[in-house]
Chains A and B, each alone.
Chain A
Amino acid sequence: DAKTTQPPSMDCAEGRAANLPCNHSTISGNEYVYWYRQIHSQGPQYIIHGLKNNETNEMASLIITEDRKSSTLILPHATLRDTAVYYCIVRVAWAQGGSEKLVFGKGMKLTVNP
């Protein structure tokens, strides 16, 4: 699976949009970008995933650059409950035979401030 690079931490004001970057310059054509987060003392939580088109769900939006070398997870109106470690993972989709092993790196700590 391709390696990802995220800043170690980021702050955001409550109510503002949080834009979380991820670099994956070695991504392969069949690899997807997944985002998970882990709120303190809880299990990781799936947020969203995408291949090349922008994706949106009830939690967030995922913007992937045209060359697919980077992406941004957008939390449109951050709340205090969004404070968590966010993980950007690049891997072949399970539906396409990707490994079942989900590898979490160090992630990025997002702190939403009142």
Chain B
Amino acid sequence: DAGVIQSPRHEVTEMGQEVTLRCKPISGHDYLFWYRQTMMRGLELLIYFNNNVPIDDSGMPEDRFSAKMPNASFSTLKIQPSEPRDSAVYFCASRKREAQYFGPGTRLTVL
């Protein structure tokens, strides 16, 4: 099994630009999660999907953030426009039974 796949692994952009992070969950997992990790705030849940449907987006910080899951094998997290305070590591995870499996993360730097 390839595990959760995220791309890109690193992204450096300038303030105001649009950023799109991508995630491919593990096949057969029906839950998908987006997290953000910073030194100050630790690991925060942003949004999660069940069977491609967004269930809880209460962790999304602002309207600048949006997430989609057009099919069971692909999800995106978009930030538009990006700001320096969005700099963080963004993790995607998928769940089966009682374990969440995390991807390697995307390290985002907004200048």
Q: A residues bordering B, Cβ < 8 Å?
A: 32, 34, 41-46, 49, 93-95, 100-102, 104-106
Contact among A44, A46, A93, A101 for B91, CB-based, below 8 A: A44
Contact among A32, A42, A49 for B104, CB-based, below 8 A: A42
Query: Can you report 18 A-B residue pairs in the complex whose CB atoms are below 8 A from each other?
Result: A34-B98, A42-B104, A42-B105, A43-B102, A43-B103, A43-B105, A44-B102, A45-B102, A49-B98, A94-B95, A94-B97, A94-B98, A95-B98, A100-B31, A100-B33, A100-B50, A100-B55, A104-B43
Distance in angstroms between the alpha carbons of A76 and B60 in the assembled complex: 40
Query: Number of B interface residues, CB 8 Å?
Result: 22
Distance in angstroms between the alpha carbons of A94 and B93 in the assembled complex: 15
Distance in angstroms between the alpha carbons of A95 and B96 in the assembled complex: 10
Distance in angstroms between the alpha carbons of A101 and B45 in the assembled complex: 7
Cβ-closest chain A residue relative to B58: A101
Main secondary structure on chain A at its contact with chain B? loop
| A-chain residues with CB within 8 Å of residue B55 when the two chains form the complex | 100
Question: Nearest-CB distance from B65 to chain A (Å)?
Answer: 17
A-B contacts counted at CB < 8 A amount to: 46
Question: Nearest-CB distance from A58 to chain B (Å)?
Answer: 13
Most buried by A among B42, B97, B102, B103: B102
| A-chain residues with CB within 8 Å of residue B50 when the two chains form the complex | 100
Q: Are A93 and B31 in contact (CB under 8 A)?
A: no
Most buried by B among A32, A46, A93, A105: A46
